[in-house]
Structure 1
Amino acid sequence: MASSKKSVFAAFTTMEIVLMAMLATANAVMTTYISPINQALNTLGGPIATSSITGIYMIYGLLAYYIIRKPGTAVITYGIGGVVQAFMGTAYGIASCFVAAACYMVIAELVFAIVRYRKWNLGVLMIAGGAMVPIWFFFAANMFHYTKWGTSILLIALGVRIVSGILLCGLLTQVLGSALIRTQLLRRFAISRGQGA
């Protein structure tokens, strides 16, 4: 029992920290290129259309957790992501980088704590992807004045964002993780050892 607890709360290796930093940096770069797509969607379909790609913005932290499978992974990965994105610049303001990162890390850590870091199946990933959406949406609604949309639009946009989180964050995390396993690039990580189900 003691050895099991020790392995769950083991310190991060250099490889794991490098992976988290790489994913966070890749996300910051990706976000820069997604911004024009987001603006185009806003022009075509307003807040509901832009809500459809929300899951993409969150995937890097969940993917890191799926690969590394250690408590604190979301805190480090989303934390680095917020800092890098703030340095690279964002159309949404520096504050949004850190508030979003904080919202994502808290919920992701909570979800995996609830399952005691033992379940890494698609269902848990999809729950995590969807659960990360509402708390950030609440803060974003106040920061970016979404309240002017009206209650019905707000609720529809929230629903679309949750579905996006489930699919483009939760489901896509497993798809990407499985693809990376086949490349043998993740041999030194917990995902390759099949820890959890």
Structure 2
Amino acid sequence: MTAQHTDPATDAPTETGDPADADRRSPYRWRVIDVVVASVLAVASGLIFVLWNIASNPISAPLSALLPGLQALVGGGWLFAGVLTALVVRKPGAALFGELIAAVVSALVGNQWGVLTLESGLVQGLGAEIVFAVFLYRRWNLPVALLAGAVSGLALAINDLILWYPGSASAFSTIYVVSAIVSGVLLAGLLPWAVVRGLASTGALSRFAAGREARGRKSAAPREAAAR
């Protein structure tokens, strides 16, 4: 007979008590620890959004003066929450949850966009969420993270052009879209992926698949070195 154990994250019985086994059997089910960690990441990201609301202005103004539309290069600073949360939690809805909660925090603290911050968070979170959904929530590598950041940047650009720059010239719109995508790739794709890799290597994500993958890489390294 197989021993029954209780998963401390969900209080649900499992056959082995191994979180990896629970993930394999229910890859789309949110655990209690998923909700808690996703909320912590989202709130922390929202506080960074608040700081970026202030810090981005001295950067975006010169960029706009240099080449109108180039100011979208700062947009990635409001996009990383969704990708970061998704890369850690790896559950359906994680990207949307992370980006939207971060936007709520930013709006509650106060910014110049008011309630439209929530609409932006929803659109940008959906952009990243669509990418992870296309890969059936089973691919969490660097290329997928970069693509999620890029699509989130595209969503930001389209939303901004509709809300804030209606009737813009095609040259401005093109520059704005390309700049937002580049920013999304770097700040919302590459940066969260590097942060998750760093956290996983410390053991902080041991209850998540990202942490187990890091342990696997560490254990494989000595074997590969010995084989050479």
With the shorter chain as reference, the TM-score category is 0.7 to 0.9
Contact 2:42-2:85 within 8 A present in 1 as well: no
**Counterpart residue number, 2:176:** 157
Kindly provide the amino acid, as one letter, of the partner of residue 118 in structure 2. Answer: F
Contact 2:100-2:121 within 8 A present in 1 as well: yes
Q: What is the aligned counterpart of 2:101 among 71, 80, 97?
A: 80
Q: What is the aligned counterpart of 1:27 among 32, 35, 45?
A: 45
Q: Which structure has the larger Rg?
A: 2
1:44 lines up with 2:62 in the alignment: yes
**Counterpart residue number, 1:104:** 124
Kindly provide the amino acid, as one letter, of the partner of residue 179 in structure 1. Answer: G
Structure 1 or 2: more helix by fraction: 1
- Aligned pair count? 190
When normalised by structure 2's length, the TM-score is 0.75
Please, what is the CA RMSD of the aligned residues? Answer: 2.1
Aligned-pair CA distance for 1:35: 2.3
Contact 2:77-2:188 within 8 A present in 1 as well: yes
Say which is worse superposed, 82-91 or 167-176, in terms of deviation: 82-91
Aligned-pair CA distance for 1:123: 0.6
Any gaps of 5 or more consecutive residues in structure 1? none
SS of residue matched to 2:155: helix
When normalised by structure 1's length, the TM-score is 0.86
1:188 lines up with 2:207 in the alignment: yes
1:171 lines up with 2:163 in the alignment: no
**Counterpart residue number, 1:65:** 86
Aligned-pair CA distance for 1:67: 0.9
Could you tell me how far apart the structure 2 residues matched to 1:79 and 1:31 are?
Answer: 12
Kindly provide the amino acid, as one letter, of the partner of residue 32 in structure 1. Answer: V
